[in-house]
Amino acid sequence: MAIPFIDLGVQRERIGAKIEANVLKVIKHGAYIMGPEVKTFEANMAAFAGAKHCLSCANGTDAIELILLGLGIGDGDAVFVPAFTFVATAEVVPMTGAEPVFVDIQGDTYNIDPVKLDAAIASVAAEGRLKPAAIIAVDLFGQAADYPALAEVARKHGLPLICDSAQGFGCTIDDRQPLEWCVATATSFYPAKPLGCYGDGGAVVTNDDALMEKMISFRVHGGATPTDVATMNFEHEAKYLNVRVGMNSRLDTIQAAVLIEKLEIFGEEIELRQKVAARYNELLAGKVKSVPFVKDGYVSTWAQYTIEHDNRDGLQAHLRTLGVPSAVYYPIPLHQQPGYSMYTAGGWDLSVSEAKSKTVISLPFSPYLDEATQDQIVAAVTSFNG
């Protein structure tokens, strides 16, 4: 039997009956948009995150954009993002009229480098063409960025710090989630994520009441908030008073029904992920260029298990011949992508991002990866002599 890159089958066997019952309930009650399961899931998600609020939406990309819109990011603003991440992190910035400023990463964690971030902000401010406006840190491959250090940089420059935890929701630093340092955390429920639904979905968690109210408005066509209605004396449905230009980004009720059950076992699955990753590290240490490094006190959700190899492309071809799938995240850093090469503000060295893009390769991973399959994967990796 072929080895899946991310095996969702075991989880489906475990909770599939409950999910099917929840989905059937939605089909029967007919509230397919913003139904009661959405509110239930948002409450459960906020509780898991230790947050006052959770706003679900259509996908993780919209989740980041909703935060930027809620903060009033727009024309003439600079938003600082890592150069080594999925394009969605940078993609939403021009959508608001702002410009992304690419910052290099730390070589051990692949996350944005606080020292280089500080320098990039100072450079943009000195240049004067753009106004530093926000920082988006990414929890790449599941490990939290260095939020204590990043928060110091954010405070120094008076900028909001945003967490893009599409890959890392549930990760912690000394048992504290990124929201402890950030104005808001965005995440994705794409099926392959550690907490995924059966389609597209996303969410924002925050403790900021004013930001939450704005995001609620932007999520559904810029409809009036309670504050808007009170100040404008509007007596009809708030959705027909469009105070701002918004979007249409709602989580389907059926996806919320799926996520309610998945969130119930998510904490346990994070623990299972630690065991699988630790065993990989034990078996592969010293046999590849590097195995993943997790900082002391940090707990990763292991969205991917990513090693490095000097002949990455050769290894990937070798694994393919043995029936072992793999993935390369990300072969082209964002500042070198054709659609983003015009964004050169900051002008800083991005050589770590460039170097890592040539050596990283991710292996099959799930919380339910059995030892026999893992041994087969490790044997395939270590049999490569290129």
| Structure confidence by residue, pLDDT tens digits, 280-302 | 999 999 999 999 999 999 999 99
Higher pLDDT, 348 or 133: 133
Question: Residue 60 pLDDT > 70, yes or no?
Answer: yes
Lowest mean pLDDT among 21-30, 189-198, 226-235, 324-333: 226-235
Looking at residues 124-138, what average pLDDT do you find? 97
Sketch the domain layout of the chain as residue ranges. 9-105+112-264, 266-382
Looking at residues 152-170, what average pLDDT do you find? 98
| Candidate list 116, 193, 214, 262, residue with the active-site label | 193
**Catalytic status, residue 214:** no
Question: Residue 233 pLDDT > 90, yes or no?
Answer: no
CATH topology of domain 266-382: Aspartate Aminotransferase, domain 1 (3.90.1150)
Separation between Cα atoms, residue 319 and residue 316, nearest integer Å: 5
> Residue 238: pLDDT band by 50, 70, 90 thresholds?
confident
Q: What is the pLDDT of residue 126?
A: 95
Q: What is the pLDDT of residue 1?
A: 65
Domain 9-105+112-264 = CATH 3.40.640.10? yes
Question: Residue 230 pLDDT > 90, yes or no?
Answer: no
Residue with the two structure tokens 């993943």: 292
Q: What is the pLDDT of residue 334?
A: 97
Lowest mean pLDDT among 82-96, 97-111, 122-136, 217-231: 217-231
CB neighbourhood size of 228 (10 A): 18
> Residue 10: pLDDT band by 50, 70, 90 thresholds?
very high
Q: What is the pLDDT of residue 286?
A: 95
Residue 250, CB half-sphere, CA atoms under 13 Å: how many? Answer: 16
Mean pLDDT of the chain: 96
Q: What is the pLDDT of residue 239?
A: 81
